[in-house]
Amino acid sequence: MTAHRRFKGLYTALVTPFRDGRVDEDAFRALIAWQIENGVDGLVPVGTTGESPTLSHEEHKQVVAWAVEEAKGHVPVVAGAGSNSTAEAIDFARHAEEVGADAVLVVTPYYNKPNQEGLYQHFKAVNDAIGIPIIIYNIPPRSVIDMSVETMARLYELPNIVGVKDATANIARVSLQRQVLGPEFVQFSGEDVTALGFVAHGGHGCISVTSNTAPRQCADLLHAALSGDFTSALALQDRLFPLHTALFAETNPSPVKYALSRIGRIHDEVRLPMVPVSAATKAKVDEALAIAGVIDG
């Protein structure tokens, strides 16, 4: 099976539930089961939405292992394995492979600001250390750096690099990357609000924040778009658009954790330096959840 056929559709960038300062295993496992029941195509634990920067290494690895166990092979698990330390990224990636993750998501190293050659060498080192697929996570708003399409093309020559989670919010990049790397190079949108347009340009799916709270609606949107039914997809986009925007009214994942607490899935708890959302944002999220049909209006 080619990579783009295996890695396609709606993947949820899972939150990491906390309770009284600890990772809430029961809530995390229940969230995964609910996601799978509602039609998601894959799971992405311990990414940005999973608050990976504030998880200990032990917690990070435990969450990945729980995700693989709970998924039970029903959907692929793409484990977050990024770091601004190459050695640390390799350690996370090797662990993900050892516990049975289907692939790893590796972010461009943040804070260090490596040049394009540094980016290439970082990803090559991870590639050389494991034997499972690697999806590049290109998110300039958080990492400061932007991986060029030329660097991506060099990396695609390596055996384990299969695609990108593109959070540039530049839909033109989809066509450019498709032109340079070809249609088999997996392209996931990292922006819920532009995912519909991303797919129209040739993208293969979305790694979604919104689907934490509205998995069925988001799955229906992505599946309609990927099947070419853009009329149905646009109708769903209109319903989900307020939620896509409300969940980023403050820094992710605080709004989506509030939304999940609102529907009784997790406690509304984040780790510093993240804080719970304001009353004004709670009102926006409540309204958007009702418009999307997640709660009664």
**Catalytic machinery residues:** 137, 165
DSSP string, 151-206: HHHHHHTSSSEEEEEE-S--THHHHHHHHHH-TTSEEEES-GGGHHHHHHTT--EE
Rg (CA), the chain: 18
- Enter the tokens of residue 232: 């149905």
Report how far residue 215's alpha carbon sits from residue 37's, in angstroms, rounded to the nearest whole number: 9
Which DSSP state fits 14?
A: -
| Burial class (CB within 10 angstroms; exposed 0-12, middle 13-18, buried 19+) of 239 | middle
Report how far residue 292's alpha carbon sits from residue 297's, in angstroms, rounded to the nearest whole number: 10
What's the per-residue H, E or C state across 58-122?
Answer: HHHHHHHHHHHHHHCCCCCEEEECCCCCHHHHHHHHHHHHHHCCCEEEEECCCCCCCCHHHHHHH
